Structure 1
Amino acid sequence: MAGPYASARAKASHADDGAEAPSGVLLPHLAGPAACLRQVLAAHAVRHCPHIVEIGGAGLPITGFLTHQPRSVTVIDPKIPAFSAATLNGAPCEVRHLAAKLQAVALQPVSPFALLLLGLSLKPFGGTQATAPELLVLAAEAETLVIDYALDLERACDQIAAITATRTTPPLIDLAMAIDDPGLREAGYARRRFLVYGGA
């Protein structure tokens, strides 16, 4: 069975277990003690999903927060260290961190899969818009879709409608929260919205 990725532009480092994956450089506003609450909530939302795809994730990839034993985890972010492993949490799992833009990776996700967009803040790539057709197809096909974004980040607010329009049912969880973390507060990103579509 093919994994959820087809190609990557960077050579990946390898470790025995995906829990050892390097996170990459953590942005200053995500370095505080409460910023990872989003990943903890997302890991719970996808705890039944056998295949996980995260777009973004440099600094705080979902891989190290997962508590279950998925069969594959793919994280795509141009700023994440390229990485691969064959196990996660002591069980067989195809773990790949791809140092690339989504538009540069030919994804073939295995269903059912979860798609995570934590800290939504996508940028265009070449002539392709930020909410690229590839992303919208993934959002529509994901059994579980998890989105977190800052309510005061204009770019994210401009992108959310196109992504949520791919879903045919309302979100299971639509949570407004303020994370009173000094870094998030100073950056203006403390007020957030956390959405979960599908899942249980």
Structure 2
Amino acid sequence: MAAYFVDGCATIVEIGGHLQPVSGFLRHVPEEFVCIDPKSEPFESDKLDGEPCRVRHIARKFQDVDLELQPGSYGLVFVGYSLKAFGSQDAVGQKLFSLIDNSAITVLEFSPNLQRASDQMQSLLKRPETETVCSLDFSIEDGAFETTEYGTRRLVVLRPRSGSSDLQNMVTHA
């Protein structure tokens, strides 16, 4: 589902995703795909699915990575959102706000039953700089995962309040 909402973005930045990055689910090949997760193996390539694409997997916390991104030029993805603080930097702070506020679209997927994720999401969703374009609740019914606090999931799609009408048309005509 996250891949659907970043379809057409020239650059995709994913925070997390070390075991299963969203790149494997994309319906298009972007110009650049960056996955930032301290648990991922560092990786670089000039191809994604055999097509030209700058691919980077960066094994660090996002708070420790500086990316040169043009405002409105990228889609931002967090699947399994549940950030932890990084040293003296809060998990939710100016670095995260800047990434979200400057993206064309942000997809956040999390467990509303996980207290840390739920609390952080409340602070993200009430910000006046963004608006919610889509919110989906679903459950994972696999016989094991469904009995944990991770079995219930929520996917929220945000965009800057000054978002483009093209993005609105893409979402509303899906």
Q: What's the TM-score once normalised by structure 2's chain length?
A: 0.85
Match of 2:63 in 1: 103
More displaced 10-residue stretch of structure 1: 157-166 or 51-60: 157-166
Identity of aligned residues (%): 36
Q: Which of the numbers 150, 153, 172 marks the counterpart of 1:192?
A: 153
Match of 1:47 in 2: 7
Q: Quick one: which amino acid aligns to residue 9 of structure 2? A: C
Q: Which of the numbers 158, 161, 164 marks the counterpart of 2:125?
A: 164
| Cα separation, partners in 2 of 1:44 and 1:108, compared to 1, 3 Å | same
Structure with the higher fraction of residues in strand conformation: 2
Q: How far did residue 116 of structure 1 move?
A: 0.6
Q: How far did residue 107 of structure 1 move?
A: 1.6
Q: CA-atom RMSD, angstroms?
A: 1.6
- Aligned partner of residue 63 in structure 2, secondary structure: helix
- The alignment status of 1:123 with 2:100, answered yes or no, reads no
- Aligned partner of residue 129 in structure 1, secondary structure: coil
Q: Quick one: which amino acid aligns to residue 105 of structure 1? A: V
Q: What's the TM-score once normalised by structure 1's chain length?
A: 0.75
Q: How far did residue 180 of structure 1 move?
A: 1.1
Say if 1:139 and 1:166, in contact at 8 Å, map to a contact too. no
- The alignment status of 1:78 with 2:35, answered yes or no, reads no
- Aligned partner of residue 145 in structure 1, secondary structure: strand
- The alignment status of 1:150 with 2:111, answered yes or no, reads yes
- The alignment status of 1:65 with 2:29, answered yes or no, reads no
Match of 1:93 in 2: 53
Match of 2:163 in 1: none
The CA distance in 1 between the partners of 2:126 and 2:34, in whole Å, is 24
The CA distance in 2 between the partners of 1:59 and 1:93, in whole Å, is 20
Match of 2:135 in 1: 174
| Cα separation, partners in 2 of 1:167 and 1:97, compared to 1, 3 Å | farther
Q: How far did residue 169 of structure 1 move?
A: 5.0
Return 5+ residue gaps in structure 1 as ranges: 1-40
Q: How far did residue 167 of structure 1 move?
A: 5.7
Say if 2:42 and 2:57, in contact at 8 Å, map to a contact too. yes
The CA distance in 2 between the partners of 1:181 and 1:66, in whole Å, is 24
The CA distance in 2 between the partners of 1:165 and 1:142, in whole Å, is 17
Residues paired across the two proteins, number: 160
Which structure is higher in RCO with an 8 Å CA cutoff and minimum separation 6?
1
Please list the CA deviations of residues 58-83 of structure 1 after superposition, one character each: whole Å capped at 9, or x if unmatched: 11111211120100000000001111
The CA distance in 2 between the partners of 1:169 and 1:126, in whole Å, is 27
Say if 1:82 and 1:99, in contact at 8 Å, map to a contact too. yes
Say if 2:101 and 2:130, in contact at 8 Å, map to a contact too. no
